Amino acid sequence: MAGALLAGCGGGGSSTDPDRGKGAKSFSLTITRNAIEGGKNTEEAEWITRRVIPAFVAAQKAKGVTAKVAFRGQGVDDEAYKTKLALDLKSRSGADIMDVDGIWVGEFAQAGYIRPLTDVVGAPADAWDGWTKIPASVQKLATFEGKRYGVPPATDGRVLFFNKKLFAQAGLPADWQPKTWQDIIAAARALKKLPGVTPVQLNAGTAMGEATTMQGVLPLLAGAGAEVYADGKWTGGGPAVQQVLGLYAQIYGAEGLGDPKLQQEAKGRDKSFEEFAAGKIGILAEGDYFWRDVINPKTGVAKMPSRDRDVGYALIPAVAPGKGVRGQDFVSMSGGAVTVLNPNTKYPQQAFELLVFMNSPEMVKARTAGTPELTSRTDVNKEILAGDPFLTFVSEKVLPVTSYRPGLAVYPQVSTALQEATAAVVSGKSPRQAAAEYTKKLEGAVGGAANVTPR
């Protein structure tokens, strides 16, 4: 539904004065996000209603301004939420401040539903001192065609997790950090000597869905020096994609360094979590979510009591040093939400003031109280993650080298084509043949070969 609403539309947006309503002594604003007290993302809803709104209203009162701020929480499926936002923006209505998935930013921008912050509020958009605390790599989550559309409050990162206990048994170091893809293969070969152990879990196939693309294909593609979308074109099945599929072939081919059956099971990803927690998988590529919410000894869905002692983590290497995207030695992929302004707001300056207030150190710390997470702010991360070596590692080492998915409407089709290419390799097709089939599907999805680059 949302895709249909967004396709070919230009119904949103506003070209009115960014200073409209600037001097108002009283104003009203609304905030919406897919969170509701007592339901979905209840902590987010409670943070807004109990911390952000009262504090902002009090700060405005101290300046002699009367502010009224209402929260319109949603608690629905993400696609339903996206559809609601699209309908509101298309009709030039809706909340003044809203959260969108970072992968929707380009799609909404192309439809004209949201506009660059500098268009909405003018010079103050670039003058916010908070930008100096958000790494340029993280700002890309909220950026489309070189322009910022909002503020990313938090993000995540992909790494390689490994079982130190199994590594010790295989004669591998506890401080393992592969510098090439072949270092990963070498470790996997050593792990294969251990009975009952699957050396590597690299998500593959369509059953894993977006997890195949986000945890596997895209980080590796970045490691091969390419992004799935760059300079207005999509990356076809050329050398970079073939290198990625070649690594899949090494892992799931004749050497048997991975479990091909697991990639085809409907609950294969969940099973891989359980197997890692049980000490049956040596290396697993995942996001920081895996550490925080999956193998968490207290609250995880696959509790691993020995996590802090037995689980190591490493950066994802490029195929070889300096061969990654932007000449990097190491790579990652990240995602997250972006808080944007409705371009039709009656009070753009006040809405931006509330937006940056929500993303101030004080409010970000209030949001993460009791449940440390990776925020977009380096100053806050340094403080709240001091007692968490893993999240500190992600903040300081992973985020500076990370990349993001393109926020374009056709991306889900491209992602599926990539998943199918990995499935083909796992099933025995050559990387070259799977890459050629991917290129054909890609051209069909993105409007022809003219929109595809062979790199």
Quick: pLDDT tens for 29-67: 999 999 999 998 899 999 999 999 999 999 999 999 999
Rounded mean pLDDT of 369-383? 89
Q: How confident is the model at residue 3 (pLDDT cuts 50, 70, 90)?
A: low
Give me the residues paired with residue 234 across strands.
229, 452
Residues 368 and 255 reside in one and the same domain: no
Q: Hey, which bits of 257-382 come out as E strands?
A: 281-287, 311-314, 316-317, 330-334, 337-341
Q: Which of 159, 289, 272 is nearest to 205 (CA)?
A: 272
Q: Hey, which bits of 115-230 come out as E strands?
A: 143-144, 147-148, 150-151, 158-163, 198-201, 229-230
Q: Which of 100, 264, 104, 286 is nearest to 211 (CA)?
A: 286
Q: What is the pLDDT of residues 208-262, one digit of tens each?
A: 999 999 999 999 999 999 999 999 999 999 999 999 999 999 999 989 999 999 9
The answer, yes or no, to whether residue 72 has pLDDT greater than 80, is yes
The answer, yes or no, to whether residue 15 has pLDDT greater than 60, is no
Residues 126 and 173 reside in one and the same domain: no
What is the C-alpha separation between 137 and 326, in angstroms, rounded? Answer: 12
Residues 352 and 222 reside in one and the same domain: no
Q: What is the pLDDT of residues 440-451, one digit of tens each?
A: 999 999 999 999
Structural domain containing residue 53: 26-156+335-404
Given a contact cutoff of 8 angstroms between Cβ atoms, the answer to whether 134 and 395 are in contact is no
Residues 429 and 304 reside in one and the same domain: yes
Q: How confident is the model at residue 10 (pLDDT cuts 50, 70, 90)?
A: very low
Domain presence at residue 108 = yes
Distance, CA of 150 to chain centre: 15
Q: What is the CATH number of the domain that holds 142?
A: 3.40.190.10
Per-residue pLDDT, 1: 45
**CA 210, 214, 217, 221 torsion: positive or negative?**
positive
Q: What is the CA radius of gyration of the chain?
A: 23
Residues 324 and 417 reside in one and the same domain: yes
What are the start-end ranges of the H helices in 143-291? 164-169, 181-191, 210-212, 218-223, 239-252, 268-277, 288-289
Residues 78 and 191 reside in one and the same domain: no
Given a contact cutoff of 8 angstroms between Cβ atoms, the answer to whether 95 and 116 are in contact is no
Domain presence at residue 449 = yes
Residues 190 and 298 reside in one and the same domain: yes
Given a contact cutoff of 8 angstroms between Cβ atoms, the answer to whether 185 and 246 are in contact is no
Residues 202 and 299 reside in one and the same domain: yes
Residues 64 and 213 reside in one and the same domain: no
The answer, yes or no, to whether residue 199 has pLDDT greater than 80, is yes
Residues 283 and 429 reside in one and the same domain: yes
Rounded mean pLDDT of 137-156? 94
Q: How confident is the model at residue 299 (pLDDT cuts 50, 70, 90)?
A: confident
Residues 196 and 305 reside in one and the same domain: yes
* Single residue among 404, 426, 442 that ends a domain in this structure: 404
What is the percent of the chain where pLDDT is above 70? 96
Domain presence at residue 4 = no
The answer, yes or no, to whether residue 124 has pLDDT greater than 50, is yes
Domain presence at residue 149 = yes
The answer, yes or no, to whether residue 454 has pLDDT greater than 90, is no
| pTM, rounded to two decimals | 0.88
Domain presence at residue 3 = no
Domain presence at residue 11 = no
Domain presence at residue 196 = yes
* Cβ neighbours around 142 below 10 Å, total: 26
**CA 260, 262, 263, 269 torsion: positive or negative?**
negative
Instruction: Look up residue 177 and give its two tokens.
Output: 């950090």
Side chain identity, residue 42: T
Q: Which of 261, 286, 264, 260 is nearest to 273 (CA)?
A: 286
What is the C-alpha separation between 112 and 120, in angstroms, rounded? Answer: 12
In whole angstroms, how far apart are CA 319 and each of 5, 189, 261, 330? Answer: 40, 18, 26, 9
Q: What is the edge-to-edge ordering of all strands in the sheet holding 311-314?
A: 198-201, 281-287, 158-163, 311-314
**3-state SS, residue 32:** strand
* Residue linked to tokens 């629905």: 76
In whole angstroms, how far apart are CA 140 and each of 26, 233, 318, 375? Answer: 34, 18, 20, 14
Q: Quote the number of domains for the chain.
A: 2
What is the C-alpha separation between 100 and 105, in angstroms, rounded? Answer: 7
Residues 62 and 36 reside in one and the same domain: yes
What is the C-alpha separation between 376 and 74, in angstroms, rounded? Answer: 23
What is the C-alpha separation between 365 and 344, in angstroms, rounded? Answer: 30
Domain presence at residue 322 = yes
Per-residue pLDDT, 455: 66
Q: How confident is the model at residue 6 (pLDDT cuts 50, 70, 90)?
A: low
Q: How confident is the model at residue 14 (pLDDT cuts 50, 70, 90)?
A: very low
